[in-house]
Structure 1
Amino acid sequence: MPVHNEYFECTTMKAKDTSQIALSKLCTLLMCLFLSGCEFFDSDRQDNNVDGRAVKGVISNGIISAYRAEDNSLITQTRSDSSGYFSLDLNELEDGTLVLLSLSVDTDTRMLCDLVEGCIEKISGQTLSFGEAVRLPAYFQLLGLTSKQTHSTTFLSPLSHLIVKTAQSLPQGLNAQNIVTATQWVMESFDLESDPLTTPTLDLTKLSDASDESLKQAILSASLYEHALDTEWIGTNQLLDHIPLANVFYTASDLAEQLSAYLDTYSDNGNSYASALSSITNDAQNIAEDLDSAELQIQTQPQSIHTSESQSFSLFVLASGAGSLSYQWQKDGENIPGATASSYNKTSAQLSDSGLYSVTISNSEETIHSLEALVSVEENVLPVSISQQPSASIVTEGETISLSVLATGGDPISYQWQKNGSLIPGATHSTLTISPSSISDTGSYRVSISNNVSQVYSNFVSVTVNEQLAAPSINSHPVSLTVSEGSSASFSVNAGGGGFLTYQWRHNGTDISGAYSNTLSLNSVELSDAGSYDVTVSNTQGSATSFSANLSVLSISVPVSITQQPYSQEINAGESVDLTVRTSGDGPFSYQWLFNGEELVGANSQDLSISNAGIEDTGLYSVVVSNASSEAYSQEALVSVNSLPSSLELSWSAPSTREDGSALESSEISAYVIEYAYNNTELNQSIRINSTGSETYNYIISDVQSGTMYLRIATVDSNEIQSQFSETISIDIP
């Protein structure tokens, strides 16, 4: 399976030849560089500084600049010391940030000559001896790479410079995949076994405890002296495929041989590097001769690559032979148009780019074919992310525990639940269900979620499994009490049940604030405290309510009594009437007057006045008088309201004939007699009305009473002879 991180990808492989062994070591070294840091200096340091060394020979007082690789923004600067060492403070960066290092020079910068036969100083043209300080031209530059990790290290050398320049020239520039490709290319081209970015570069003038690989890289770096001091060094023409490798290896072979002879002559401890230097001399000579051979041959075959959609990839071949070499790359046996350089670069890989790639190399004499390299382009898979975290859970023993997480990302997504940091066997779904639960399931849970490209962890959530509890029950109920006003009263309950019990007392069905224990104490009881009391007992399994207990409160005040009763009265309509009650006892007193047994709204004083009384006010009146401890009812008083007397207006016409039928003149009538009464059997009231000679008469009878009145009329002539009475009529008077 590919090993991924934010910056590069390595594919594990079975080592079949030295190039694959080198690639395997490269992946390990790049992981050291970009993931965890490598300890070449003080392993006890715990800061985020980067330590390094600049060696071409050793460069002292060089200007070391650190830039963010993604945008080339300057982070910090420092200078190398007299031994080429430097330290950079990268504490402000995020972990894993890729950093480009650049060494530049000024008039204070010096480099120790690392060629035994001497170095020609570009500035003066003088030849300086092995170990002497050389001034460097202003355009001189060395590049390297590092990242922010705990006590990481890096080294600047001509080999690291070639890695950076080659990676920058590839599609998408200085990214992790291109760094891997360029590093592999440099290692293959110079027959290296370790990554120059993280391999300590030695000072050839002061060898001490040098490994064979470090010694080899130091000699190769020194062999690049002429190229590193050329003006093309910092441009695009001094990329790896523009370096005359045969010349470099011839120089390296000579330098190794010269250095061995130098150590034989001048070393106080003898030449402990004789064997390593002899091997370097012979190997470099053989490689140089192979590269310089007229026979067309491939030194470095194209390597298989595993990449992802939209990522760049590069294939390269290193060949040697007489004359000018031409290249033609093929995919699955078909020529790739325009792919005619020693490297084949693809800026943005597509799934269709997967296949077998090879290159045909030819000169004027012959043609050879490289081995095939497999390019695998993997479909982009979205990394997993958590959209909904699991939630804490509290359950009772025996209930079901259910924890769920929602995640998004490319399929397939895998889940693995953990309890207290340990994997839960078989818990490999988005929902973890434990049923039935037990006390031992209490703990801290989280889930690991992963797909082919990423892995995330949920938050830890707590799961609490409580012991299964019995529901509450009342063993003894509160008991009713009778107490005097101002004394204390206490109710208590005895309840059973599992776990923590809570209590809530109530008065007349309403919760009592603060009454949360098994005992309710009332101090200085008031009359308003009388009533019904009960308590509800609860736990997590339910609740139980006690029987009600009554509290009776005896008043200590003198009860009210009525000393003067209201009395009955009779009045006429429109008159006023006053009703009064007098009391004794402890006040204050409250009054409520009643009319025919119903409360009169607003009638709340000891006197009741009715003004302008009407017939409707006739009825029975009484009053209820109360104080804090008692109440008293008065006797009923009858109020009778009589209606006022009415008048009756009578009208009649003078008769024109006598009883015998003869004519009667109005002038002959002396008077009229009207008899009336409220009983038709005896009309005992009469009125004599003298005649005026008129044809019609009107007369008003005053002070009549309501009821039915009976009337009759007779005439009296001038001789005082009275006629018979008319028939009796009745009139209803309201």
Structure 2
Amino acid sequence: MEIKKLNKITIILISMFVTLMAFSMPVKALALSNPGFESGTTPWLFYTNGAGSFTVGPYGYVGINAAKLTLNSGGGNIQLFQTGVALEANTRYRLSFAAYSTTGHDVTVRLIKHGSPYTAYAPDFTANLGMSWQTFSTEFTSSGFSGTVNDGRLQFWLAPYAAAGDIYYIDDVQLEKVSSTPISPAITMHPLSQTVASGQAAIFNVVATGTAPLTYQWQNNGTDIFGATGSTYTTPATTLSDNGAAFQVIVSNSAGSVTSNPATLTVLPPIPPIITTHPSNQAVSQGQTATFTVVATGSAPLAYQWQKNGTNIFGATGPSYTTPATILSDNGSTYRVIVSNAADIIMSNAATLTVNPSTSIGLIMNPGFESGTTPWLFYTSGAGSFTVGHYGYVGINAAKLTLNSGGGNIQLFQTGVALEANTRYRLSFAAYSTAGHDVTVRLFKHGSPYTAYAPDFTANLGMSWQTFSTEFTSSGFSGTVNDGRLQFWLAPYAAAGDIYYIDDVQLEKVSSTPISPAITMHPLSQTVASGQAAIFNVVATGTAPLTYQWQNNGTDIFGATGSTYTTPATTLSDNGAAFQVIVSNSAGSVTSNPATLTVLPPIPPIITTHPSNQAVSQGQTATFTVVATGSAPLAYQWQKNGTNIFGATGPSYTTPATILSDNDSTYRVIVSNAADIIMSNAATLTVNPTTSINLIMNPGFESGTDDWWFYINGKGFFTVEDIGYGYQVEKIAHIGVTIKGTNIQLFQMGLSLKPYTKYRLTFDAYSTTAGHDLAVNLLKHGSPYTNYGLSQFFDLGTDWQTFTVEFTTNGFYSNVNDGRLMFWLAPYASAGDNYFIDNVKLEKI
């Protein structure tokens, strides 16, 4: 699952078709604030008389966030609590929540008076937690007071269960008054018709409310489907004979039953595979791996079989293939892939592998963890984990060692290291730990008596990436061995809560004869305008360490001792200066070719695109933009009606929300640099009165992704492009689906709504692939995700259309500001689909 944050995009982890049916009995929600921690920590409080922390992060069981309680030590008083809970005496309540702890240690939940004598308002409830999310629920009758109170404290009591290193996660805390009258089931979202290719499965969902427990029975053309008794039904792999079948579901409880509208299944012939990106040639050094990748479309499932020189590679059955460590005989090998599905079989173009000989061979396999954890091994006598993720100092990945507790034996190691006796080696790596705790690196025999093959090396780690290097002569054996163990030894430095990151582990044989420096890329001549800086670079090889000394017209430049040199701001007197660099090591030195600096008079600014007139409705913002060229730096100052606008000093200016008196105002910008000052043409702002206010922020995506959120549990992206349609003609939302998911949504939250009020939704949209459809829902942004009156399917085409629907809000009784407008692409969207949306408008009629 790939999750990416784009601007203010927030990752939402919800299972819509489960959480929307989270009613277990008719209930009235109490004023437990922030039950799902979506607003952060407030008003929850945390206390421990040991050591620990309370944070909120994107770990949610329901919604985005969850509480995370990290315990660095145990304690006799550890609690997460909320005060000011209002209760009625002798009344039946239900408490529910989701939780787990990393060690499976339990928690007790208490409801007491917040203040001495801490009267119990309910019996204690102890939850037997596991090490993954579970939900817990208990009912009780309030006691210990009369009338009503608002001094209740709901308390998660972790002592005496918790221990040092434990992490607790808690979410979706609900305290509700229970009604005694069961409510008949009602369907709030009917199953939607599905279109799939032959061989694919179809997924039908229903969302219903009513007194729990709700039961479900799905039917195919009116006949019960055996075992299909959940809110979601997934068909077996379809065939063309399933085309036109009607699926419906009967939802029942103790108060009655209701049958959904039928949903039609359309089964299309499978789409043959098409390769959109063929594997490309790769060049690596001896001992490195090479990765070949293909991108193909067509009806799922797609099957892949990679071949080397025309012969199948065992196990190479994915869209990418990474070779083992290469050898010189692999040079010139060709790699191709066969892609197939039920409709056809095709073959990619062949890609050629070039393997260049290496003078220094790394003895460590997977040194940068780019291939995952293998062949590295991790052991701790305490508690902890070894994972690989996108934290790399070099490349993408790095090792991550998370320690939940300390231990007398904590190590990351690799075995089977081949060594020669009495030979000089260099070990280098990059590392840091979150607490700055150190690590010792050892090289010894992998097996009793664990003979040392090199001296131990202790790295004084910091809390950000550093590189470390040491040289040694192998000892403790004769001839050659291949039983070396390279070991990162974290004990006795590491403590509970530490996280270590390690990357780019290199063990290489050092040449006994130092190699003189050689320049492989000389500095290049530079041309800049007066006032700009120039940057010169050199690339050199040779035995480390290499030193550098830059010169200007043959004179050393003080402090210019790196492989890159940046001049101060240039003047016309610098024109024609010659810059060179001397590169040195223990074996000698070499001087680069001179690079000439040409300094031109500054180029005055020229406006290539003037600000254009803008027309908006009252309450909207307007954006004016200028495009100018000329010598950097360019300075900007926007004016309204000839007066400078404070802080408006960029190439674009966005007004505040407009009012009618802004109509006919003019906007222009002064552009300047060291050479000249010019002024743009004036652009006129037209502000049209509006009789209705759009409740959607950034409805035409003119402010980019601001105010919109996107989530997919497959792979995809949400961007804004400068080719708009409709409401604002400059920008549109673009949603791309790389890997299909069961939860794909673009949404905006925090909408203010009035109950039982007529609203109109309009938007423009299309999808590029067979006009795949979408649904729009308006619901509560938070458990139990009550529908607020809109759940509508829209039949998209492959070109722009405008869609409109009117509806009356329901599901709440007073004004709310927690509405979520959601474009729901699953289950319509498939891999390769692109959706475009613009001009989203929600107005009270």
Q: What TM-score range do you get, normalising by the shorter chain? A: under 0.3
Determine which structure has the larger helix proportion and give its number: 1
- Flag the structure with higher strand content: 2
Higher RCO (Cα < 8 Å, 6 or more apart): 2
Q: Which has the larger radius of gyration?
A: 1
TM-score under structure 2 length normalisation: 0.19
Give the alignment's TM-score, normalised by structure 1: 0.22
